[in-house]
Amino acid sequence: MDDIDKKILKRLQENARVTISVLSSEISLSMPAISERLKKLEASGVIKQYTAILNPELVDKQLMALVYLSFDNPSHGDSFKNFVVGESDIKECFYITGDFDYSLKIITQNTTTLENLLTRIKEQTGVIKTQTIVVLSSIIDRPSVTIE
């Protein structure tokens, strides 16, 4: 990946709907050259996907929480992974080191929907401890890695 690829990627992170024509004029490369570079970045997996990032508050998701949980035995991890995949309000799930086994980022409607989800989490086989932290405000939220 060279500096031109990095410029393309930075511009796509600003607006993934930018046209090849606009990229071509901004980066001073022909449209076929830009198109070819995009295909290579996609094929190599550098560009994982294109997506729309929604404003949670405008789609009735007013509450964010971070949940940490521990299991009595690591063997329960596979069934927990299956559970997490089926819960649309769980936005991120990480297997972590430290006092807890997993970290979850939850974005949901309100305290009632959070309570219901926490109950379902606590009902999972082997869960022995949870800690929930409600997020009051988001200082920074970068949906993707940045390129220097």
pLDDT score for 133: 98
| 23: its two tokens | 């990229």
- Domain assignment present for residue 141? The answer is no
Identify the domain containing residue 85 by its residue range: 56-135
φ/ψ of residue 116, rounded to 5: -65, -45
- Average confidence score pLDDT of the chain: 95
Q: How confident is the model at residue 79 (pLDDT cuts 50, 70, 90)?
A: very high
φ/ψ of residue 53, rounded to 5: -100, 115
Residues 36 and 64 in one domain: no
Ramachandran assignment for 28, one of left (phi > 0), alpha (psi -120 to 50 degrees), beta (any other):
left
> Percent of the chain scored above 70 by pLDDT?
100
Distance of alpha carbon 10 from alpha carbon 133, whole angstroms: 33
DSSP class of 76: G
pLDDT in tens, 95-115: 999 999 999 999 999 999 999
Q: Does the pLDDT of residue 62 top 90, yes or no?
A: yes
- Domain assignment present for residue 148? The answer is no
pTM: 0.85
Query: What is the average pLDDT across 29-58?
Result: 95
CATH number for the domain spanning 13: value is 1.10.10.10
- Domain assignment present for residue 142? The answer is no
| 113: its two tokens | 């929907």
Q: How confident is the model at residue 148 (pLDDT cuts 50, 70, 90)?
A: confident
- Domain assignment present for residue 145? The answer is no
> Percent of the chain scored above 90 by pLDDT?
89
